[in-house]
Structure 1
Amino acid sequence: MSTATQETAETTEIRGTVVEDFKTHQVELSETACQKVTSLLEQEGRTDLRLRVAVQPGGCSGLIYQLYFDERILDGDALREFDGVQVVVDKMSVPYLEGAKIDFEDSISKQGFTIDNPNAGGSCACGDSFH
């Protein structure tokens, strides 16, 4: 797990609301993943949602990733925007996700979001959890 987190406080306007003193994170969202998130948001007809990425206890290796849409910005959240897609990471998950890259794979053998995380020491055979 990386100990170098970016503690940059910024002010920005997010969907018409000014958000002050938020921190940024170092999670990357690929162009393909960004396009998929945009497509999903358009299907939902919701422009007020952000992609929230979190790490929670669970799975056979100890930790699991959670990706879901959220309209909230909570105290301590870190935020970055990728071509109009806002990615939010809670303050407890930031160290676990430092430098992680989120992509979207659409092949005959697999469809879904993937996370390449340099902080993961290993993962289970199914690939759904890590430590």
Structure 2
Amino acid sequence: MTTTSDTTTEPAAATHGVLLTDVAATKVRTLLEQEGRDDLRLRIAVQPGGCSGLIYQLYFDERTLDGDALRDFDGVEVVVDKMSTPYLDGATIDFADTIEKQGFTIDNPNAGSSCACGDSFS
């Protein structure tokens, strides 16, 4: 006896290995509330540039592009484009708020080296 299933499943959305800490997620939520926007997601990308070869881009984006990988962190969506995904696998986005530093930080185990300013890596 053969049984068939009429259930059609949608292909799973691509995901990525970037982690967003609770502190960073809270900061993103706060920034979005200040903007009065609930249609934006946090995009992280890697682009050529800087003194070490690659730089991070971190910004709010309302678009999703073909091949984007998306991951939800308790209501905060983080999106990574297809080309940046391998460079960012295992990276952690945090938010620092100290006397020495304020802003988002990226701890990336894939970065072999970085420049003195910390804005670019290879």
Larger CA deviation: 98-107 vs 21-30: 21-30
Question: Which residue of structure 2 aligns with residue 116 of structure 1?
Answer: 107
Question: Which residue of structure 1 aligns with residue 66 of structure 2?
Answer: 75
Question: Which residue of structure 2 aligns with residue 93 of structure 1?
Answer: 84
Question: Which residue of structure 1 aligns with residue 17 of structure 2?
Answer: 26
Identity of aligned residues (%): 75
Considering only CA atoms, is the larger Rg found in Structure 1 or Structure 2? 2
SS of residue in 2 equivalent to 1:43:
helix
Gaps of 5+ in 1: 1-9, 12-19
Flag the structure with higher strand content. 1
SS of residue in 1 equivalent to 2:13:
strand
**Structure 1 moving runs of 4+ over 4 Å:** none
Residue type matched to 2:77 in 1?
Q
Q: TM-score, normalised by structure 2?
A: 0.90
Q: TM-score, normalised by structure 1?
A: 0.84
CA RMSD, Structure 1 to Structure 2 (Å): 1.3
Gaps of 5+ in 2: 1-8
Q: How many residues align?
A: 114
